[in-house]
Structures are given as C-alpha cells and as structure tokens.
Amino acid sequence: MHPARQALEYAAATLGFSGVGVANPFDDQGEALPRFIASGMHADMAWMERHLPARQNPELVLPGVRSIIMLTYEYPRSDTRSVPGSIARYAQGEDYHKLLASKLADLDETLQFYGGTQRCFTDSGPVSERFFAARAGLGWIGRNGLLIRPRGGSYCFLASILTTLELPVDAPMPNHCGNCHRCEQACPTAALEDGICDARRCLSFWTIEAKSPIPPDIAARQGNHLYGCDACQEACPWNQPRPGQQPRIDPHLLMPAPLRHMPPENLDSMQEPEFENIFTGSPIRRIGLEHLQRNHRSGQF
C-alpha cells in the first residue's frame, strides 16, 4: 500500500473516522448541480450559486490538487428526545464542524509529513462531498440525495481533504437502491424525486436555513419537526438496525440531558441567557432563539 495512504488510514481510524476513500478530483461531475441551481431548487441558499465554479473545479480550491480524500464519521441513529419536538440526529450533540476540524488538522499534519499540501472541510467548503464520497467507493447517492453505505446507511458526517499528494483512488460501487422509493414516499412535503431534494419544499431547509416565514402549505406538514427532518433516513432500509452493525458513537455527539428533556413549549418563554446555556456548543445555536421559536409556533406539537 502507498505509505501515505497507509498512514492516513491508520490515523483516521485512531481518530474515530469510520471510512476512508480516495477519489480523482478531476472526475466529471456532469450537469446535475448546475441544473439544480438553474431550476431554483436551492431556494435562497445563494452560496451554492457563488461556489459553483469551485465545486466543479477543485483546482480553484487547492491549486495543484491531485487527490480528494473522503471520510465518514458516525452520528447517532436513534432519536433520544423524551418529549415532543423532533431534532435531526446530526444536531443532537455538539457542533460537528468544531469536533471534526481538530481531527482533520491532525490528518493534515500526517499528510504534510509525506510532502502534501492540504485543505480540509466538513460540510463547510466548496467541495461536492457526496459526489466525491461516492466516487471514492464509500457508498452511493440514494434517492434521498444522501450517501448510503452498505454497512452504516446514511447516518454519518462527510469530511474532505484536498491534497497535492497523488494517492491510489478507489473504485465506485453500484447503486443499490433498486426499485425502492420508501424515502420519497416518507417525505412529509414531497421534496424528493430521483435523488434530488427540492429545498423549496424540504423541512430541513425551512426549519434550519430559511429566514423567511414557513409557507402555510409547508407548515401544515411540519408536524413534530422542531429542527431538521430525518423522515427519509428513517424510512431507508439501509438504515435499519442489523446484527453486528452497531457503530461506536462519539460521546460528544450524544444529546445532553437538558435538551433531551426540554418540552418544546418552554421555547415560548425562553430568554437569550437560557437559550445560550442550553445550546452553546450545539449546531442549533446558529439559527438563534427567534428562529427556533418560529419553528415551534408553526409546527404541531
């Protein structure tokens, strides 16, 4: 095995990453993303349009890039809330951006030893992470638009390392969704079709990203969703528990007791100091108290 690749895999496993794959940064990404943006399905997430040239040309992100390393990191597969108010599983613990940033810095240092220059991201840079994770053989992009793995499903974070090192690339795997459409059928707002999620209808977009009021037709289907939505993941057969496939979950990603037991109606009278006390260190904090209160007012709890 290539010595840098061997060192990378050892270090990644030690740091808790569950999968490592390498893709060619110059693989053709096709026209799916430009068509998605041209159709307006990105809603008001203008950064997607601004970053499109860099997403399609990794050379603009790291001049001299020769490989894209993709990694997976598990997050909880069960909802531990004891009261109404569903919170997407990825956001139930500490902010994954900060948690994984320090681990990626360690991997960067490992690759520097072999002469590489790197740029590292986890859901924070102009990198088509799902595309390259699939090209790196970590899984396939399912009908819900997420990376699905034969062992592990879609409950994982993706992280990317662009490097000037030329590493052996991995082979993509076939798509195993077959004739299954359970994710599309489970989506409360019919936002999914053939691997594309229309953000204009997605509850995750409206309860997390959108600043404007939730439209009445979306709010009517919001139900118990307070922050984000896992409906498509919950319906996916690849996410169902299997014997011997219980991954180790970083304790930092587990839901703390105050959030686990906080009734949603507490948000009505919550003030900023209490919000900061509960949500400091959580990815939920970035949307702010007013946005979270709006989500509660529009839902059915």
Q: Residue 273: how many CB atoms within 10 A of its CB?
A: 8
CA distances to 262, 279, 301 from 225, in Å: 14, 17, 8
Buried b (16+ CB within 10 A) or exposed e, 132-155: bbbbbbbbbbbbbbbbbbeebbbb
Collapsed DSSP state (helix, strand, coil) of residue 268:
helix
Based on C-alpha coordinates, what's the Rg of the chain? 19
| Spatial contact of 75 and 228, defined as CB atoms under 8 Å apart | no
The conformation of residue 122, written as its DSSP 8-state character, comes to S
Packing angle, helices 3-14 and 96-112, rounded to 10: 150
Residue 108 annotated to the active site: no
The size of the chain, in residues, is 301
Q: What is the DSSP letter of 127?
A: -
How would you classify the pairing of strands 86-87 and 225-227?
Answer: parallel
For residues 35 and 41, give the distance between their C-alpha atoms in angstroms, rounded to a whole number. Answer: 9
In this structure, are residues 55 and 127 in contact, taking their beta carbons and an 8 Å threshold? yes
Q: CB-based contacts of 233: which residues, under 8 Å, 6+ apart?
A: 89, 144, 146, 153, 154, 155, 183, 239
Residues 6+ apart with CB under 8 A from 218: 189, 201, 203, 206
Annotated catalytic residue within 106, 123, 170, 250: 123
Active site residues: 123
